[in-house]
Amino acid sequence: MNRRKFLKGSALLSGLFTLNPSDFLANSTKEIPDPGKKAKNIIFMISDGMSSGTLAMANLYSQNILGKNGNWMNLYLENKVSRALMDTASASSIVTDSAAASSSFGGGYRVKNGVLNMGANGEKYVPIWQKFKKTGKKTGCVTTVTITHATPAGFCVNSDSRNAENEIAEMYAEIGFDVMMGGGDEFFNPLKRKDKKDIYSLYKQKGYQVLKNRADLKTAEKGKKVLGVFNSGALPYSIDRTSIPELQQMPSLAEMAQTAIHQMKDHKEGFVLQIEGGKVDWAAHANDISALIHDQLAFDEAIKTVMDFAEKDQNTLVIITTDHGNANPGTIYGPDATKNFNSISDYRYTNEYILNAIHPEFNIQQMKDWIYETNKIRLADDEAKHLLSFYSGLEKQEAGLYNYKKLPFKAYSEIQKKHNSVGWISMDHSGDYVEAAFYGPGKELLPPFIKNTDLHYLMLKAAQI
């Protein structure tokens, strides 16, 4: 391609581009030809924090328990996609956080962990959804965490802190993205914001319809901008949503994806949509195997929703990937490995739900009964005592980014490991190379090894911008 013309065009489009040619593309993508067919639409799917072991175990569970291959694996088996490994490092570390990772995709530059599309000297790298919006496309994001969280924000805004979610909620309205759905009521609701601003009213003034529950998806007015905020904080884990009736008023990732596509698919200039399975990452942080597998399977159902559209449409580039690994879970060798792994099908809830229900007044027998009821695991007395010690203050409480209640996630996962043959190397992100797959017009652009920043430019190239 004509690199000079491409860079000049990108700079004019963004208005704020600070160029760094040495970081433009990692490898042979510098010389790739124009795609054979222009991608009118782009759907970018991110299973946040998905190590390769997570993908493998979700597919094993699908095969062994559900009797079928997962949708992601079927794309490989049927040779429908181009496939690559991706280096996920940030500007500040070989191990990225979600803000820097999404900024690599969104802004096309590696930035320091914790910031969104901001360079070390204050450079603002224009996010890709803003670029596509300027060309006339509709733009949207859906996620199972807060819609203002790092991954959707990295495609949409600039901020020197990923934690500025109150401000990010206002930025979205000012920029005018077409479909934004997830959790995060506390960033929009005047009763929950410290500044008492009514951000819902701001959106309504700008012509948005505000959706609050699963039923609202069915009555959304087509063609009108959508803000869907379905919970305070993140949406519930998939397995808890299935098992707890009152949580079923909140939509699944696939249902949100379906609505987002429906809202934008007939726009003459096309659309771009990010779909994030955000709680895959949170489950890995908690070493919570039932949460992890079932949210990965929920992401896999969203893949089916997207592919059903894309295969019929034939004008949509689908990108399926993750932003980084997390905790590197995997199955452990042993004579009962298959039987042990399959026992996860007996787990009725997430570890978060199970451990939240325990209180210091539990005795040993109550602890054993509760764990058997929820996981079909028979605890030994010493295991029950050990878990109870975390609630009586005798054991040091476990901390962590998504463990604000100081639940004994690690201790319980170690007990579960004896029964399910699943191990974890940590409770945090990892720097492993991850999967990336392309389907549709532009899939031929994907080389077998890429940097995360390459995806930014490959999207622009596929859309011939």
- pLDDT at residue 31 greater than cutoff 90: no
pLDDT for position 393: 72
pLDDT for position 418: 97
pLDDT in tens, 82-124: 999 999 999 999 999 999 999 999 999 999 999 999 999 999 9
Does 359 lie in the same domain as 284? no
Does 371 lie in the same domain as 251? no
- What's the pLDDT band for 32 if we cut at 50, 70, 90? low
pLDDT for position 265: 97
Between 1 and 305, the more confident residue is 305
Q: What is the mean pLDDT of residues 218-247?
A: 96
pLDDT above 90 coverage of the chain, percent: 88
Q: Please check whether residue 428 lies inside any domain of the structure.
A: no
Does 364 lie in the same domain as 311? no
- pLDDT at residue 5 greater than cutoff 60: no
Gap between the Cα atoms of 206 and 174, Å rounded: 9
Q: Please check whether residue 346 lies inside any domain of the structure.
A: no
Does 442 lie in the same domain as 302? yes
Work out the mean pLDDT of the chain and round it to a whole number: 92
Does 251 lie in the same domain as 362? no
pLDDT for position 392: 82
Which is it for strands 82-87 and 434-439: parallel, antiparallel or unpaired?
Answer: antiparallel
- pLDDT at residue 19 greater than cutoff 80: no
State phi, psi for 21 to the nearest 5 degrees. -55, -30
Does 276 lie in the same domain as 228? yes
Does 361 lie in the same domain as 318? no
Q: What stretch of H or E contains 47?
A: strand 41-47
- pLDDT at residue 3 greater than cutoff 80: no
- What's the pLDDT band for 402 if we cut at 50, 70, 90? low
- What's the pLDDT band for 64 if we cut at 50, 70, 90? very high
Q: Please check whether residue 337 lies inside any domain of the structure.
A: no
Q: What is the mean pLDDT of residues 153-165?
A: 98
- pLDDT at residue 20 greater than cutoff 50: no
Residue whose token pair is 């029964």? 419
- What's the pLDDT band for 30 if we cut at 50, 70, 90? low
Q: What stretch of H or E contains 309?
A: helix 289-313
Does 357 lie in the same domain as 256? no
Q: Please check whether residue 334 lies inside any domain of the structure.
A: no
- What's the pLDDT band for 404 if we cut at 50, 70, 90? low
pLDDT for position 237: 98
Strands annotated E in 116-266: 138-146, 179-183, 209-211, 226-229
Residue whose token pair is 């059903």? 308
- Any idea what the CATH number is for the domain that residue 199 is in? 3.40.720.10
Does 259 lie in the same domain as 190? yes
Q: Please check whether residue 339 lies inside any domain of the structure.
A: no
Q: Please check whether residue 417 lies inside any domain of the structure.
A: yes
Of 72-86, 381-395, 441-455, the one with minimum mean pLDDT is: 381-395
Q: Please check whether residue 341 lies inside any domain of the structure.
A: no
Q: How many domains does one find in the chain?
A: 2
| Host domain of residue 218 | 3-329+433-462
CB 51 within 8 A of CB 422: no
Angle between helix axes 381-389 and 409-420 (nearest 10 degrees) is 160
Does 370 lie in the same domain as 313? no
Q: Please check whether residue 345 lies inside any domain of the structure.
A: no
pLDDT for position 396: 60
Does 161 lie in the same domain as 94? yes
Does 406 lie in the same domain as 271? no
The residue among 429, 319, 345, 414 whose CA lies nearest residue 50 is: 429
Residue 221 carries which side chain, given as an amino acid letter?
E
CB 318 within 8 A of CB 210: no
pLDDT above 70 coverage of the chain, percent: 90
pLDDT in tens, 257-275: 999 999 999 999 999 999 9
- What's the pLDDT band for 33 if we cut at 50, 70, 90? low
